[in-house]
Chains A and B, each alone.
Chain A
Amino acid sequence: MKVAVLGSGGMGGVHADVYTKLENVRLTGVCDVRIEQAEKLAARTGATAYSSFDRMLEEADFDVISIALPTYLHKEFAIKAAKAKKHIICEKPIALTAEDAKEMIAVCEDNGVRLFVGHVVRFFPDYANMKAALDSGKLGRPGVAHASRIGGHPGGWFADDSRSGGVILDLMIHDLDFLRSCFGEVSSVYALNAKKDTLDYALVTLHFDNGTIANVESNWGYPGPFHTKAEIAGSKGIIRANSLKSSSLQIAKQGSSNDPGASVVIPGSPGFRSPYELQLEHFLSCISDGGNPIVTADDALKALEVALAAKESIRTGKVVYMQGGRNQ
């Protein structure tokens, strides 16, 4: 299968590197308006660099495109790719508005191409393990859940709410999607948010149709290592994940010769296959065999709708009841 990558930033690089590792997959093109970025990635992966997507569509040979652009550009390029009959793997969140997401889904359907959205937390082994414990019944009926995603502010276009949607649309959406995969549809959303300089912090409480309550925390502005935490407490048991505590590798090093006192500790949690690799391999196999993905474009739309409800709650100060939920 031949693939190309649009966008040579952080996630574009991840996608491209994974494609070079997967068997029976060939990365033919990488594209970025910042041509030097594209060339760097091309040099690393052996693909051809393009600065124009139109040009890549004309010249490069590929069936699948990874769209790893800033969120506000997803719709425009997804529609362009769909019309060129390319299957699409789009980074999360699917779009900035539900209307845009629905249009992307519709255009892909009309053009007979698949659309996948990179809600990669479904492929993180710690999260998959939590969901498996829940699904096995070991936790009994789920009652109260927590999920936290904490790291530094990524800056750049992420800092512009009109392009990224802020911490809720860009970061928390991972947990919103994961929790929906665990507990089903959300009936109401209440959210709190603080935005100051390089801090974007949100607390969102979800109430699910199945009765479960979840409080979701996201922090762009933490001056320490990125980490995630989650807990599901049920009538029969509790499962807890904490990426800091489950680090299986820690490297402690003396500081540089300039400053030998300043030691550094680098935590890690290595695996033979990264969640991104598992995700992209899964999406490509769905394209080959026509199978249904673990996470669908509709799931991505639903997670976006929950995220947008959270933003509405912040704006109005009210609880937002989702369609079909209790109306006030």
Chain B
Amino acid sequence: MNPLKIGMISFAHGHAFSYLNSLLSIPEVEIIGIADPKRGRVADVISKHGIAYYDDYRSLLEQSMDAVVICSENVFHAELTIAAANKGIHVLCEKPLGVGADEMNAMIEACNNNNVQLMTAFPCRYLPAVIQAKQAVERGEIGDIVAIKGTNRGTAPSGWFVDPKLSGGGALLDHTVHVMDLMCWITGSEPEEVYAYAATLFDEKLDVDDAGMIHVKFENGTFGVVDTSWSRRAPFPTWGDVTLEIIGTSGVISVDSLGQVNELYSQEAGTGQWNYWGDNMDLYLVKAFVQAIKQGDQVPISGEDGMRSAAVALAGYQSIETGQPVRLRV
């Protein structure tokens, strides 16, 4: 059987390392090259695994391959995705899919026109607790869903993440999309109206928001809220969380996605830590992408899915400007 040839463009987003490790563990995958304008960022992995290096993604895309994984700065997702699509290459793109509705539409259109698939990297769909919660909802175990309270709190990143020219936004953009995608997936409904509040409260030196609360009303009447704040930092015992309180008419499902931890107290760390021992969601995300491409199936998380959640975050920023909820363009 021919291996699936995959290239990777940019390791700006650290998830690239996890995706690479996941890909390397899948026997039917061959990594054909890594493109990154900053060689230092990938020097270790190219030498360790003997992977071809390209400083220009265009050179990588000249190679024969089936798919690329894009983990660039957010503002380059569109350019890179469209370039890959035009070469007939399938794309797995890091979230948020884009930083504007027009460019995300262009990404989806380019992939459609070239008959390639676009998958958005929402690994939280590959958390076993999330999957089982969705199944419990579908079995009607808590009646009809009326609301979801979610959190995706994290530790403030640095570098391009906090440069709005490269990231397109702060914590509200970075951390709305994962949980919003889960809310859309679990409710099976479309976001209709958004209100957000965001500000720079934890580190005043940042040029982007690091505290946010975003609210959404869905077409089916369900509503939700997500805390998107980069409110975690040492000595908090872990980097962040992904939680969902799913409120139904006859029950509540609480998901603490990353709650599978042991408490570690070591003098080496100097402070208590939560050691995660649950499944690696990135591995299952990447496997699902590989399997869909190999078998010619529809990828499980589409470009439209990516755009839907990013559009909520972008509408959130708009609502901050107006000080009132905004309707989403449907």
Contact = CB atoms under 8 A, between A and B. Distances in A.
B231 A233 contact: yes
Given A143-B231, A213-B213, A235-B202, A222 B252 contact: yes
B197 A203 contact: no
Contacts of A180: none
Contact of A319 (B225, B251, B325): B325
Contact of B247 (A190, A197, A219, A234): A219
A212 interface: yes
Contact of B251 (A146, A223, A234): A223
A243 interface: no
Interface string B201-226: 11100000011110101000001010
B302 to A, nearest CB: 28
A144 B227 contact: yes
The B interface, classified by DSSP as helix, strand, loop or mixed, is: strand
Contacts of B149: 203, 215, 217
B195 interface: yes
Contacts of B323: 188, 319, 321, 326, 328
Nearest to A140: B202
Interface residues of B, number: 37
B322 to A, nearest CB: 8
A211 interface: yes
Interface in A190-208: 190, 192, 194, 196-197, 199, 201, 203, 205, 207
B325 A203 contact: no
Contacts of B151: 146
A98 interface: no
B213 A215 contact: yes
A141 interface: yes
B211 A217 contact: no
B276 interface: no
A328 B324 contact: yes
Contacts of A201: 146-147, 247
A205 B225 contact: yes
Contacts of A215: 149, 213, 225, 227
A143 B201 contact: yes
Nearest to A196: B249
B250 interface: yes
Contacts of B210: 143
B213 A144 contact: yes
A318 interface: yes
A194 B187 CA distance: 15
Given A194-B147, A215-B149, A238-B231, A223 B250 contact: yes
A155 interface: no
Interface in B149-165: 149, 151, 153
B39 interface: no
Interface in A137-151: 141-144, 146, 150
Nearest to B225: A203
A317 interface: yes
Nearest to A318: B324
A140 B189 CA distance: 40
A238 B239 CA distance: 13
A199 B249 contact: yes
B309 interface: no
B51 interface: no
Given A201-B146, A203-B149, A318-B324, A144 B247 contact: no
Nearest to B228: A144
A197 B143 CA distance: 12
B247 A213 contact: no
B69 to A, nearest CB: 33
A178 B247 CA distance: 24
Interface in B246-294: 247, 249-252
Interface in B185-206: 193, 195, 197, 199, 201-203
Interface of B: 144, 146-147, 149, 151, 153, 193, 195, 197, 199, 201-203, 210-213, 215, 217, 223, 225, 227, 229, 231-232, 235-236, 245, 247, 249-252, 322-325
Given A192-B215, A215-B213, A319-B325, 11 more contacts: A144-B211, A144-B231, A146-B151, A211-B201, A213-B201, A213-B212, A215-B227, A219-B252, A233-B231, A235-B202, A317-B325
3 closest A-B pairs by beta carbon, nearest first, are A143-B201, A194-B146, A233-B231
